[in-house]
């Protein structure tokens, strides 16, 4: 059987993928449950304030991913353990520097526009600092394939977070945004301490490496991720804002509700890709181009097949799902489910393409795909919404993903991922 179907032979990636998906499930469940606890405990105005602060935290997380953790997932995979250890040590120093810069701008913003009170802003800044250190520690564990440590730390962090929120929620008078971010900060601190305890040998011997060279290396790779993030938001988020302005807020809610159902698939997608990115890079460096290509083909075919099945089932039972999860009011928007399902399938394909180009050191391809879609979005979004309403928004989101696929496929057509191109990039990085 293995000789007949070598493409689907069980590999070492299967175990790692399972652990990574399980870990992502812990994180997603905790984030979802924390949101419910706080939404019930806080008044709508208070939860709205919490959501705005959390959105700011996610914005800072996007900056971190572009400049620190994104490069670490790829560039942190080295030929030797010594090289990897020296690279990862310097990332903590860079992360602290980035955190200080982010907090400086946040404090200035809060002061100039007189947002929030001092105690809330202070604990929020502490939360961002600790949150990003914890996220870097998670990525380092993934990059070094310490998946057991990753699960233990994440389980501890989110057990502390959920336990504290549940405990304090019984005392409604104590619930406010200060305590919410205090609990988030304490849980992140527990995870960071546990990470350093488990990796104390990795940081005992400080290695003298050039901070400037590493910063430049991060920037050369991460600048494309930063630009990609910016144009990505134009390509996708603009439809929600335009739908609210040109159609109505009910349509925004319906589109978001449908996307939330399909976003359950993100637990699988994010968990798998978090592991596959450093794993594919490891294969490319240690075992060569052919092993890297086989791995990505397996992941791509497997994810595409599973997403096709999931989306087909969701589309067939869309009315029952909308009634069960939400209410009868949402069944009038059931026509959005098939369109959003096709969009999800394209997103899965594009995610695998993104991993392939990033691990082969072509991060600029992701930026180009998002740039083309952003330009097209600006051109077609208004007429789509004016003539077709919320259906136009769904079609626009689908068109965005299709444009990304076209750009990726074009770069495959011009042989960007051919063996000689990939090996040339790999050798250039070594030199």
pLDDT tens track for 266-314: 778 888 888 899 999 989 988 899 999 999 999 999 999 999 999 999 9
Query: What residue has token string 């075992």?
Result: 287
pLDDT at 260 over 70: yes
Closest-CA residue to 335 (of 389, 384, 399, 295): 389
Q: Tell me the pLDDT band of 50, cut-offs 50, 70 and 90.
A: confident
pLDDT tens for each residue of 391-431: 999 999 999 999 999 999 999 988 889 988 888 887 766 65
Q: What is the pLDDT, as a whole number, of residue 3? A: 41
pTM: 0.79
Tokens of 359: 């691990």
The pLDDT assigned to 194 comes to: 95
Do residues 365 and 408 make contact, with C-beta atoms less than 8 angstroms apart? yes
CA–CA separation, 174 vs 41, rounded Å? 10
Structure tokens at 250: 């009910």
Q: What is the pLDDT of residue 6?
A: 44
CA nearest neighbour of 297 among 78, 9, 16: 9
Residue 159, Cβ neighbours under 10 Å: how many?
Answer: 14
Distances (CA, A) of 244 to 110, 165, 385: 28, 33, 10
d(CA 363, CA 61): 19
Span between the terminal Cα atoms of the chain, in Å = 42
pLDDT at position 368: 93
């Amino acid at each position: 059987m293995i000789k007949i179907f070598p493409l689907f032979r069980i590999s070492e990636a299967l175990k790692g993928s399972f652990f990574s998906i399980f870990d992502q499930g812990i994180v997603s469940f905790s984030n979802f449950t924390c949101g419910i606890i706080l939404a019930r405990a806080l008044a709508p105005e208070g939860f709205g304030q919490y959501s705005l602060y959390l959105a700011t935290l996610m914005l800072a997380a996007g900056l971190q991913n572009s400049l620190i953790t994104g490069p670490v997932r790829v560039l942190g995979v080295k030929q030797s353990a010594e090289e990897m250890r020296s690279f990862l040590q310097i990332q903590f120093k860079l992360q602290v520097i980035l955190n200080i810069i982010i907090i400086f701008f946040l404090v200035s913003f809060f002061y100039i526009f007189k947002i929030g009170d001092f105690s809330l802003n202070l604990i929020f800044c502490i939360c961002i600092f600790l949150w990003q250190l914890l996220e870097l520690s998670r990525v380092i564990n993934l990059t070094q394939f310490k998946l057991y440590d990753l699960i233990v730390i994440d389980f501890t962090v989110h057990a502390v977070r959920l336990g504290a929120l549940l405990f304090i929620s019984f005392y409604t008078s104590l619930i406010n945004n200060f305590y919410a971010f205090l609990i988030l900060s304490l849980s992140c601190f527990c995870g960071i301490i546990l990470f350093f305890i488990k990796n104390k040998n990795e940081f005992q011997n400080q290695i003298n490496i050039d901070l400037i060279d590493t910063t430049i290396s991060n920037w050369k790779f991460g600048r494309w991720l930063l630009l990609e993030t910016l144009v990505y938001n134009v390509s996708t988020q603009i439809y929600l804002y335009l739908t609210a302005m040109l159609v109505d807020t009910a349509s925004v809610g319906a589109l978001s509700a449908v996307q939330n159902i399909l976003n359950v698939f993100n637990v699988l997608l994010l968990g798998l890709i978090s592991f596959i990115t450093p794993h594919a890079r490891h294969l490319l460096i240690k075992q060569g181009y052919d092993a890297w290509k086989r791995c990505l083909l397996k992941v791509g075919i497997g994810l595409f097949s599973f997403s096709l099945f999931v989306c087909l089932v969701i589309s067939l039972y869309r009315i029952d799902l909308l009634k069960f999860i939400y209410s009868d009011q949402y069944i009038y928007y059931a026509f959005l489910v098939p369109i959003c399902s096709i969009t999800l399938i394209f997103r899965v394909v594009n995610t695998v393409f993104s991993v392939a180009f990033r691990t082969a050191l072509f991060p600029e391809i992701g930026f180009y795909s998002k740039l083309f879609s952003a330009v097209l979005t600006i051109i077609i979004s208004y007429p789509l919404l004016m003539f077709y309403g919320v259906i136009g928004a769904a079609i626009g989101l689908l068109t965005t993903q299709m444009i990304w696929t076209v750009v990726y496929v074009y770069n495959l057509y011009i042989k960007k991922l051919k063996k000689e191109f990939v090996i040339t990039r790999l050798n250039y990085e070594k030199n």
